[in-house]
């Protein structure tokens, strides 16, 4: 489908979904965003749903301003995927050992490594700039500097919620590795610190929603946020690179006879800010629950833990600020999912997937998400499908 345009106070709201299917609270959030004096455009992805602070599935383009809540608290959260030389025939009938080995190598939930994981442990993983990256931690907000040891040990860990590590098979029988994670607790604490700072600034006191507080250009608060924001985005990217290296190591050891090789990785943020130019203006584009889909750029759009995911290539649609959805998108809250579904429902909806099937992940049940095929269909003018993947192993936090 093409987009539907709804009126907004400062800019129209371009929606790649049926507005009638969007929750009232999410629509109100979007209408509030459209009132911001600095806004130059607002695009809404088909996986849109209500989010804390700002709407998930929104792409906000502003001039000389950025809203930290519109980035979200998991700064730099995103996806990585890699195609392997393995095929479905190489996989054993019982995948429980493979899942266990992945869980042993990559801490999940609030877990962390006993000692720091560094790129020099892995053949072929770039080490340039690693010391400089950690050296720049000295420049982040004083309020979270004391978390350095924890941040170092959480590098290369999954986290919880909707984060996952998967082994997938595409329609040709090729095996893929995929993971979803972000900047862990350090990104969350940096985000919460800066959201709190923004909400106290004088220019934000008249906003219709205090969660939409912004930093404006040429102020010390903006400079501090940009410093911490871009550092956390880099942390998230490094975190995924190290996890993928750990995952590849597991696969090499478990499939020694097959001698697996790996194609170049695809990696994309979906909670982040980028400096981009549209219609002759330099803008700060915030994607919360959206990926960049510039012409020819590869992206990853995952479904739920029992459905499947898509590797896509961007079509460069500037009406959407070169963006696409970041996943299927929730159609009910975590609490609603826990009330609605049982562990039996989870077992039924994840048949054929080696994964947790206990009450701790019922809120991630496929039924709590929108149908991924519908979400892909609604953005045919944003991306083209390169491959469809179906998970056979899913490790949740």
What positions carry a catalytic annotation? Answer: 326
Closest CA to 286 of 229, 241, 328: 229
| Residue of 8, 67, 29, 10 lying closest to 287 (CA atoms) | 67
| Cα–Cα distance, 57 to 74 (Å, whole number) | 14
Is 396 annotated in a binding site? The answer is: yes
Antiparallel, parallel or unpaired: β 298-302 and 65-66:
unpaired
For residue 355, what are the contacts with CB-CB under 8 A and spacing of at least 6?
Answer: 99, 305, 361, 391, 393, 394, 395, 396
Is 253 marked as a binding-site residue?
no
166 is in an annotated binding site: yes
269 assigned ligand-binding residue: no
The reply, when asked if residue 53 is annotated as ligand binding, is no
Please indicate if the annotation marks 163 as binding a ligand: yes
Contacts 24+ apart (CB under 8 A), 92-100: 95/167, 95/354, 95/392, 95/393, 96/354, 97/254, 98/167, 98/250, 98/254, 98/354, 98/393, 99/354, 99/355, 99/393, 99/395
Length of the chain measured in residues? 397
61 labelled binding-site residue: no
CA proximity to 251, closest of 177, 197, 156: 177
User: Is 262 labelled as part of a ligand binding site?
Assistant: no
Query: Pick from 249, 262, 260, 309: which is nearest to 90 by CA?
Result: 260
96 known member of a binding site = no
Is residue 309 part of an annotated ligand binding site? yes
231, 136 contact by CB (below 8 A) = yes
* Residues 6+ away with beta carbon under 8 Å from 160: 108, 109, 110, 396, 397
CA 112 to chain CA centroid, Å, is 20
Is 164 labeled as ligand-binding? yes
Bridge partners, 285 (sequence order):
61, 274
Binding site annotation covers 215?
Answer: no
The reply, when asked if residue 245 is annotated as ligand binding, is no
What are the C-alpha distances in Å from 53 to residues 26, 69, 207? Answer: 10, 5, 13
Pure H helices in 255-363: 334-340, 343-349
Q: 359 labelled as ligand-binding?
A: no
Residue 57 marked in a binding site: no
CB burial of 193-219 (b: ≥16 within 10 Å; e: otherwise) equals bbbebbbeeeebeebebebbbbbbeee
* Residue 342 marked in a binding site: no
- On whether 270 is known to bind a ligand per the annotation, the reply is yes
- Separation between Cα atoms, residue 277 and residue 284, nearest integer Å: 8
Annotated binding site for GMP: 162-166, 270-271, 302-305, 309, 326-329, 396
Annotated binding site for Mn(2+): 74, 163, 180, 270
Annotated binding site: 74, 162-166, 180, 270-271, 302-305, 309, 326-329, 396
């Amino acid at each position: 489908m093409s987009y539907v345009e709804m009126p907004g106070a400062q800019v129209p709201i371009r929606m790649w979904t049926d507005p009638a299917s969007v929750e009232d609270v999410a629509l109100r959030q979007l209408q509030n965003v459209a009132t911001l004096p600095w806004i130059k455009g607002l695009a809404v992805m088909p996986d849109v749903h209500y989010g804390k602070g700002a709407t998930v599935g929104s792409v906000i383009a502003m001039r000389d301003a950025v809203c930290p809540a519109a980035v979200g608290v998991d700064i730099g959260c995103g996806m990585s995927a890699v195609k392997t030389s393995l095929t479905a025939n190489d996989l054993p009938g019982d995948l429980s050992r493979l899942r266990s080995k992945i869980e042993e190598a990559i801490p999940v939930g609030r877990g962390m490594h006993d000692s720091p994981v560094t790129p020099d442990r892995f053949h072929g993983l770039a080490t340039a700039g690693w010391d400089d990256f950690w050296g720049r931690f000295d420049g982040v907000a004083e309020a979270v500097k004391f978390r350095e040891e924890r941040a170092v040990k959480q590098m290369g860990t999954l986290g919880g919620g909707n984060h996952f590590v998967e082994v997938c098979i595409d329609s040709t029988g090729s095996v893929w590795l995929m993971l979803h994670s972000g900047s862990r607790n350090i990104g969350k604490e940096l985000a919460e610190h800066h959201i709190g700072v923004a909400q106290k600034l004088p220019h934000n006191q008249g906003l219709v929603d205090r969660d939409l507080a912004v930093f404006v250009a040429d102020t010390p608060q903006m400079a501090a946020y940009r410093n911490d924001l871009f550092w956390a985005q880099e942390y998230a990217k490094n975190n995924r690179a190290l996890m993928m290296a750990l995952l590849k190591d597991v696969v090499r050891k478990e499939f020694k006879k097959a001698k697996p090789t790996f194609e170049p990785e695809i990696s994309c943020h979906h909670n982040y800010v980028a400096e981009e130019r549209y219609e002759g203006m330099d803008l700060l584009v915030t994607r919360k629950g959206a990926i960049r889909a510039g012409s020819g750029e590869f992206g990853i759009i995952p479904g739920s833990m029992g459905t499947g995911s898509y590797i896509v290539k961007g079509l460069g649609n500037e009406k959407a600020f070169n963006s696409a959805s970041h996943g299927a998108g929730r159609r009910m809250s975590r609490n609603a999912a826990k009330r609605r579904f049982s562990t039996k429902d989870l077992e039924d909806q994840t048949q054929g997937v080696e994964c947790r099937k206990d009450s701790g992940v019922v809120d991630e049940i496929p039924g709590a998400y929108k149908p991924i095929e519908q979400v892909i269909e609604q953005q045919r003018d944003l991306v083209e499908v390169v491959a469809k993947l179906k998970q056979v192993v899913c490790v949740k936090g």
